[in-house]
Amino acid sequence: ARRWAHTPATLKFNSVTEQDIAHFQKILPAASIISTLSPVSSPASELSIFNDDWMNKYHGKSTTVLRPKSTKEVSEIVKYCNERGIAIVPQGGNTGLVGGSVPLKDELILSLGNMTKIRSFDPVSGIIVADAGCILEAMSEYLAPHDYIMPLDLGAKGSCQIGGNVSTNAGGLRLLRYGNLHGSVLGLEVVLPDGTVLDQLSTLRKDNTGYDLKQLFIGAEGTLGIVTGVSILAAPAPQASSNVMLALPKYDNVLPLFREVKRQLSEILSAFEFIDRKSYELAVKHGQGRALNDEDVEGAECFVLVETSGGKREHDEEKLNGLLESLLEADEPLINTGVLSQSPAQFSQLWAIREGITEAVSKEGKAYKYDISIPVASFKEVVDKTRDHLKSKGLLHDDAVKHVVGYGHVGDGNLHLNVVAAAYTPEIEAALEPFVYELVASYKGSISAEHGIGAMKTHALQYSKSTTSIDLMKKIKALFDPKGIMNPGKVLE
Ligand code: FAD
Ligand code: 2HG
Ligand code: ZN
């Protein structure tokens, strides 16, 4: 019930009717329409994978999902919806973690899942242009034989789409090396809320011709238009990659370790990921990756996964081995042990532990997810303070909150604080919010480092954005989408 409170009170939209379905049938083939309304009359169960989010925390009530195959079809649908006052939720792989990809009420869902063409690839520049519905992993597989990689990677790669990645400005596991999408996206094709196609699908690396409009859509979470095409700069595939899981006796060692790792590995360091002890245990318990040997885990308060990517295996191995030796031989070692991958399979297994935490947490219980930017030195303090707070409210026990864990992208100052509960309850939510947001604000942090605002944090935006910024965001929204049909109630209240 609380979610409905966030729906903009002033905006009124029309529900999709049977007449609308008849109109959509003129735009799209029957196979591209899923609707409980006649004459399509799909069973409600077919709609649930689009109405329910990945965490099964947010539940829409849409009657209709449209799955266009071309930008022209998207444009005709959007133009019609704008005229009719029907609200639209753009949906990619539906892996978002902030309730942005599912309706708040019965908005029409426009799924990009049928738009999966690679439009072009230039093996000299590395620029790839693709339909927004291309799955991230499929794009990586397309690039591999050409010796290129996508500049982003995340645990949801098998389901998330490049249009969804762009719309959430997804960060992920390669940000430390390749930066965020504001840098690597070169152009976008967007269907604006009145159906106009904004063609900015540039393949230029340099283009200073006034305002860079595409940046507005990167991270707009579907509130300003529908991304239908993406031009992105792929990175040359590293010739050698390696990784090592470092076990730390205490959290306080993370920062000095980061400094030392950066100093010694310099240009070959490509990831520095943090995993606290409980996150590690949950990953292993739920079959993510392969457990380390007991003696490697013993006495570890947390772990750091370091990845190197470089051009020459012998050179990189020498550096990594040198790093490990110097860390272990130090008078007061920052690490207990380091487990170095010896084969591509072991490399993947170490990554699977880190990438699998989200999945493991969702198997363990219902997760309240806080994706925050704070100074790295405070990661542990924030996890501990949150746990203590829940304990003081009498909520830290198996029937309420089972675990409070922290993991994330240390290299980018991004902590994933996950509170794993037996169920989503108003009592736990009230204990966590605004507590966590106030805590983040006290460190001058961000309440959303990489997952976005969605439906979850609209009411908390002011913890990280000034009134002036929010006012400007509202003006931009009104300029692009005067009727407010595009993903209403997301990002802005
Ligand atoms: P969806 O979930 O479908 O949509 C997300 C938002 O974008 C919604 O607001 C939706 O309306 C909008 N949208 C989607 N497609 C379009 C489009 N074509 N045009 C306009 N708007 C659109 N995120 C990170 O940043 N880093 C991570 O490391 C990371 N790891 C994850 C691991 C797991 C296991 C999971 C489940 C999620 C993870 N995420 C991560 C969350 C992340 O936001 C998404 O995985 C991804 O970027 C969303 O892509 P999607 O295609 O699933 O979009
Ligand atoms: C990750 O880094 C993702 O693994 C997901 O961003 C984080 O589930 C989460 O909270
Ligand atoms: Zn993340």
d(CA 47, CA 196): 28
Nearest CA to ligand 1 atom 35: 156
Structure tokens at 3: 């979610």
DSSP-assigned states of every residue in 224-258: S-EEEEEEEE-EEPPSEEEEEEEEES-GGGHHHHH
Q: What is the band of 366 on the pLDDT scale with cuts at 50, 70, 90?
A: very high
Atom of ligand 1 lying closest to residue 155 CA: 32
| pLDDT for 279 beyond 60 | yes
Q: Fold match between 240-357 and 365-451?
A: yes
pLDDT in tens, 370-399: 999 999 999 999 999 999 999 999 999 999
Specify the ligand 1 atom closest to the Cα of 225.
20
Question: Which residue's C-alpha comes closest to atom 2 of ligand 2?
Answer: 408
Q: Which of 10-24, 98-112, 144-158, 301-315 has the lowest mean pLDDT?
A: 10-24
Percent of the chain with pLDDT over 70: 98
Query: If you average pLDDT over every residue of the chain, what do you get?
Result: 96
Beta bridge partners of 269: 308
Nearest CA to 89 out of 109, 65, 75 is that of 109
Q: Indicate which atom in ligand 2 lies nearest the CA of residue 155.
A: 4
**From residue 231, how far is each of 90, 185, 220, 246 by CA, in Å?**
19, 6, 17, 37
| pLDDT band of 365, cuts 50, 70, 90 | very high
Per-residue pLDDT tens for 104-131? 999 999 999 999 999 999 999 999 999 9
Please report, for residues 67, 374, 416, the alpha-carbon distance to residue 379 in angstroms, rounded to integers and kept in the order given.
42, 7, 9
What tens digit of pLDDT does each residue of 209-224 get? 999 999 999 999 999 9
In single-letter form, the type of residue at position 326 comes to S
Q: How far apart are CA 318 and CA 242, in angstroms?
A: 11
Distance 91 CA to ligand 1 centre (A): 9
CATH of domain 365-451: 3.30.70.2740
Residue 180 alpha carbon to ligand 3 centre in Å: 12
Looking at residues 158-179, what average pLDDT do you find?
98
Answer whether residue 360 shows pLDDT above 90: yes
Q: Are 244 and 339 in contact (CB under 8 A)?
A: yes
Residue scoring higher pLDDT (226 or 202):
226
Q: Which atom of ligand 1 is nearest to the CA of 100?
A: 9
pLDDT of res. 12: 87
Q: What percent of the chain has pLDDT over 90?
A: 97
Atom of ligand 1 at shortest range from CA of 173: 28
Residue 9: its pLDDT value, please?
52
167 CB within 6 A, ligand 1: yes
Whether domain 240-357 has CATH 3.30.930.10? no
Which atom of ligand 2 is closest in space to residue 408's alpha carbon?
2
pLDDT at position 91, please? 99
**Distance of alpha carbon 416 from alpha carbon 409, whole angstroms:** 8
Model confidence over 324-348: pLDDT tens digits? 999 999 999 999 999 999 999 999 9
Cα-to-centroid distance, 209 and ligand 3 (Å): 33
Architecture of domain 118-236: 2-Layer Sandwich (3.30)
Cis peptide before 39 (omega within 30 of 0): yes
Please report which confidence band the pLDDT of residue 6 belongs to, taking 50, 70 and 90 as the band edges: very low
What's the confidence (pLDDT) of residue 4?
38
- CATH says 2-114 is which class? alpha beta
Mutating to test ligand 2, I would choose from 97, 417, 456 the residue with most ligand atoms within 8 A of its C-beta, which is 97
- Residue 160 CA to ligand 1 center (angstroms) comes to 6
- Residues whose beta carbon lies within 6 Å of some atom of ligand 2: 97, 155, 357-358, 369, 371, 408, 416, 418
Q: Give the ranges where 149-276 is alpha helix by DSSP (H).
A: 162-168, 175-178, 181-184, 214-217, 254-265
Q: Is the CB of 489 under 6 A from ligand 1?
A: no
Domain ranges of the chain: 2-114, 118-236, 240-357, 365-451
Kindly report whether the global pTM for this prediction surpasses the value 0.95: yes
- 190 pocket-lining for ligand 1 (C-beta < 6 Å): no
310 within ligand 1 shell (Cβ under 6 A): no
Of 7 and 185, more confident: 185
CA of residue 212 to ligand 3 center, whole Å:
27
Ligand 2 mutation target, pool 154, 168, 353, 436, most atoms within 8 A of CB: 154
pLDDT for 1 beyond 80:
no
- Work out the end-to-end distance of the chain between its first and last CA atoms, rounded to an integer number of angstroms: 16
Whether residue 206 has pLDDT greater than 80: yes
- Residue 136 alpha carbon to ligand 1 centre in Å: 11
What ipTM was estimated for this complex? Answer: 0.99
